[in-house]
Amino acid sequence: MNRKANASSWKFASIKSYRAPAACAAVAEQASCSSLADLTTIRASSTAWSLIASRGEVSAAVSSVSDPAQLRSASDDIKELLQKNHCHPILVRLGWHDAGTYDKNIEGWPKRGGANGSLRFDIELKHAANAGLVNALKLLLPVKDKYSRVSYADLFQLASATAIEEAGGPRIPMKYGRVDVSAPDQCPEEGRLPAAGPPSPAGHLRDVFYRMGFTDKEIVALSGAHTLGRARPDRSGWGKPETKYTKDGPGSPGGQSWTVQWLKFDNSYFKDIKERLDDNLLVLPTDATLFEDPHFKIFAEKYARDQGAFFKDYAEAHAKLSNLGAKFDPPEGITLEA
């Protein structure tokens, strides 16, 4: 199997003992936690997987409906977690991967996939594109234990949106109340997430994101989340072992980032791809195509010039992604006032 051709271009992070062909739509290895030295003691063993999966199953029956007060408090705890561990990229990836399995052509919940908390189960965690996300779950488990009336689906999306905002990005117009799936047999099949190096990058992105109901503009805007994080060749098959921007961390040193300040959310991703002046920065085939495909290029050029336009379009696309396939209780969802 060609690891590069099968690497997911969404986001990253990987357990050292589990080298899978996975990157990810917003980065290929986003384990940028300062506590990663502790996290690397986790192994992709049956014990580690069973810990997460069994706790998810135990909690599923009581976490279907989220409590607004607990959601607000959980948000505060996530902010503290981000400040302490610098784990913004991997938490963004977690939310994206739980939601990004959505298929608009399937009507029934939860078979259609999407933001339903299924990613906590062993069978989905073991999908190649999800390599390393057990680390994100381990980070969030104390928050879930503390706030039992926050569903896993809401927790994953809350963490993802909060990470974007705390990294300097736009405020995401989120709503909550997502209902969790309750068993592993409700998880989607493997293969719904994007790849980093497909033969036809533009066509592949459209195949995957059109399936979720996104437009070309939204595809380009969401790709801008690559401004966060880095890739590691020993985990995803992409990137350099280290660069001058990653050799000192923060977190576990090494990997190759898309941007110089890879824990800051801005429009540097688009400017750097357009200029291609620094070989320390990563450009995947699915990144390069944003300026090569004539329809994608319209939006990529716009975002390189205008960070405000990027932030506006990204916030709308991220909110849309976070709601894909979700079943809400109450049906209209829960909005948290600022």
Q: The CATH number of the domain where 234 resides is what? A: 1.10.420.10
d(CA 151, CA 154): 5
Residue 75 covered by a domain? yes
- The CA-atom distances, in angstroms, between 264 and each of 62, 167, 224 are 36, 5, 12
Regarding whether 54 and 146 lie in a shared domain, the answer is yes
Residue 326 covered by a domain? no
How many domains does one find in the chain? 2
Catalytic residue among 97, 127, 204, 226: 97
Regarding whether 134 and 189 lie in a shared domain, the answer is yes
pLDDT for 26 equals 40
Regarding whether 231 and 170 lie in a shared domain, the answer is no
Mean pLDDT over 298-314 rounds to 98
From the number of C-beta atoms within 10 Å of its C-beta (0-12, 13-18, 19+), residue 51 rates as middle
Regarding whether 136 and 21 lie in a shared domain, the answer is yes
pLDDT for 48 equals 42
The predicted-structure confidence for 9-55, as pLDDT tens digits, reads as follows 343 333 333 333 333 434 444 444 433 333 333 333 334 444 554 45
Residue 73 covered by a domain? yes
From the number of C-beta atoms within 10 Å of its C-beta (0-12, 13-18, 19+), residue 244 rates as exposed
pLDDT for 64 equals 54
Range of the domain at 65: 3-193
Neighbouring C-alpha atoms within 13 Å toward the C-beta of 198: 19
Are the beta carbons of 21 and 3 closer than 8 angstroms?
yes
* CATH assignment of the domain containing 179: 1.10.520.10
Active-site residue, 295 included: no
The predicted-structure confidence for 68-82, as pLDDT tens digits, reads as follows 999 999 999 999 999
